[in-house]
């Protein structure tokens, strides 16, 4: 006798509500997140570029156009007279040369001294090396405003006041500590076996520094070169502290005089701002990847 069991119908799958599958789709979530990120980035970029575009447009308008239609109106003219006036009559050519004469030597000297100090502190067991490193870093934590009078008096005592040498010395003195701290962290990450092999081959400290450590530290040096160029070129505080003569002022300080000279000529003032910003923009575009890499310098333990 055969016993037959009643067949149980298979359970019907509950249909998912419309839209739930799409919400659970990882690819759809990624596409939505990517679209949201790009939309936000575009909006933030437009918000940041709007003042820059306004300055560029103002610099290429004529004074009559701005006076007749307003500063925020659409341009009705195009001229480069503002650049020519700021370059010659406004003294921007001389000021730009002063900035270059200060920035290039200050950057090169700062990185040279910082790389030597970082090499000694990171590759050799010197006494009190951690204390020296912390003291150099602590100097950068002091607010520069409290040092304005001492620095001014010191440059007067040394006979360097109102000279470009004073600005170079101040920039080097206040920048070396930070550069040493950054390069110290980078040079410590270089394997010790490389230096030991060079010592076995008869290389001295100077040869190891010049032919081994410096080539390996090129990424860090390039990042610091780009960053320090921007910082020194755009500096205003120390320039107006140790300089007095208008013919020795750098480009940032000359913008103050340009604004006082051309109070209502907004096209000339905007053109002078564009001239002052052009070198740092070019350096940033040239060393853009080094700027990004510089954000992580010193993080290597």
pLDDT band at 293 (very low <50, low <70, confident <90, very high): low
Sorted by where each begins, the domain ranges of the chain are: 100-250+280-294
- Taking CA atoms, 205 is separated from 84, 129, 193, 196, in Å, by 52, 17, 15, 11
Q: Which residue has the higher pLDDT, 186 or 108?
A: 108
Tens digits of residue pLDDT in 28-64? 888 888 888 889 989 998 898 888 889 999 999 998 8
**C-alpha closest to that of 86 among 234, 235, 278, 280:** 278
- Residue 24, pLDDT above cutoff 70: no
Tens digits of residue pLDDT in 69-82? 888 788 888 899 98
Please check whether the domain covering 100-250+280-294 is classified as CATH 1.20.210.10.
no
pLDDT band at 17 (very low <50, low <70, confident <90, very high): low
- Residue 2, pLDDT above cutoff 70: no
Provide mean pLDDT across the span 243-264. Answer: 86
pLDDT band at 297 (very low <50, low <70, confident <90, very high): low
- Residue 65, pLDDT above cutoff 60: yes
Cβ–Cβ under 8 Å, residues 86 and 234? no
Kindly report the average pLDDT of the chain as a whole number.
Answer: 84
């Amino acid at each position: 006798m055969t016993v037959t069991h009643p067949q149980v119908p298979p359970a019907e799958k509950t249909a998912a509500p419309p839209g739930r599958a799409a919400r659970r789709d990882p690819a759809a979530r990624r596409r939505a997140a990517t679209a949201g990120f790009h939309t936000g980035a575009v909006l933030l970029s437009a918000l940041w570029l709007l003042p820059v575009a306004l300055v560029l447009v103002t610099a290429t308008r004529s004074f009559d156009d701005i006076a007749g239609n307003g500063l925020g109106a659409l341009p009705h003219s195009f001229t480069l007279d503002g650049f020519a006036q700021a370059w010659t009559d406004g003294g921007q050519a001389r000021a730009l040369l002063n900035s270059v004469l200060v920035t290039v030597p200050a950057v090169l000297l700062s990185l040279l001294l910082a790389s030597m100090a970082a090499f000694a502190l990171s590759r050799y067991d010197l006494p009190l090396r951690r204390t020296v490193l912390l003291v150099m870093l602590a100097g950068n934590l002091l607010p520069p405003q409290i040092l304005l009078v001492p620095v001014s008096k010191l440059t007067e005592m040394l006979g360097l006041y109102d000279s470009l040498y004073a600005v170079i010395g101040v920039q080097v003195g206040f920048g070396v500590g930070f550069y040493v701290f950054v390069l110290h962290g980078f040079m410590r990450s270089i394997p010790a076996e490389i230096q030991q092999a060079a010592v076995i081959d008869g290389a001295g400290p100077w040869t190891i520094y010049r032919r081994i450590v410096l080539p390996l530290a090129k990424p860090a040096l390039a990042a610091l070169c780009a960053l320090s160029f921007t910082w020194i070129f755009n500096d205003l505080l120390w320039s107006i502290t140790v300089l007095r003569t208008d013919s020795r002022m750098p480009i940032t300080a000359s913008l103050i005089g340009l604004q006082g000279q051309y109070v209502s000529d907004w096209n000339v003032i905007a053109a002078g701002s564009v001239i002052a910003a052009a070198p740092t923009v070019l350096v940033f575009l040239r060393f853009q990847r080094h700027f990004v890499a510089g954000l992580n310098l010193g993080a290597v333990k």
